[in-house]
Amino acid sequence: SSEGFDRLWEALLLTDFTFPTIGHFQPVVWFGILSAAGSLVSLVVVEAARLRLERLTLVPARAASALAGLTALTMLAILTLALAPTFAAAFALLLAKSVLSALASPLQQSWLVQNIPARVRATVLSMSGLSNALGQTAGGPGIGVLGDRRGLRSAIFAAGLLILPQIGVFAYAGRYP
């Protein structure tokens, strides 16, 4: 999912939305504003949620359930972005996705480390990275072809749907203390 989304969201903004005419800002300035806003808002939200995230990591089932929820919200943000009617809506959804990813990432890393026995931890974490790369290699070109044939909105929507199995894994893991 991430490869297709990461490669196409900028093209979606450029082709399907009218950028606001504030001053003489070119699209590149808007991408900079979006990046800076995403970083700043993510920093503030993650710092505000830090203690809660740390408490969640103490109970693996609760951490997995929280990851299922954050991943579902991320999927919803991506699916809604594919349907967004305005630049402002797309901007807000991209900010939301950025914040949700920033919240989920440290929680997922902590959850993995705590639930993998030390003797195989390095191997499993390495395999996790390899699986991510394989998913990007397998999913990215397919999403790209879909974008070429059916449009960028369809490709972004499909990239969002590819997150669904991850939600299932986290929800399943959340059932066990």
15-60: pLDDT as tens digits: 999 998 887 888 999 999 999 999 999 999 999 998 888 888 888 8
- Greater confidence (66 vs 22) lies with 66
How far apart, in whole angstroms, are the C-alpha atoms of residue 169 and residue 165? Answer: 6
pLDDT of residue 177: 65
**pLDDT(109) > 90:** no
CA atoms of 45 and 34, how far apart (whole Å): 16
Of residues 132 and 107, more confidence is placed in 107
Handedness of CA 43, 45, 46, 47 (dihedral sign): positive
- Tell me how far apart the alpha carbons of residues 150 and 13 are, in angstroms, rounded to a whole number: 16
> Mean pLDDT, the chain, as a whole number?
91
Tell me the pTM.
0.90
The secondary structure of residue 1, as a DSSP letter, is: -
Is 146:12 a contact under the CB 8 Å cutoff? no
* Statement: residue 135 has pLDDT above 90: no
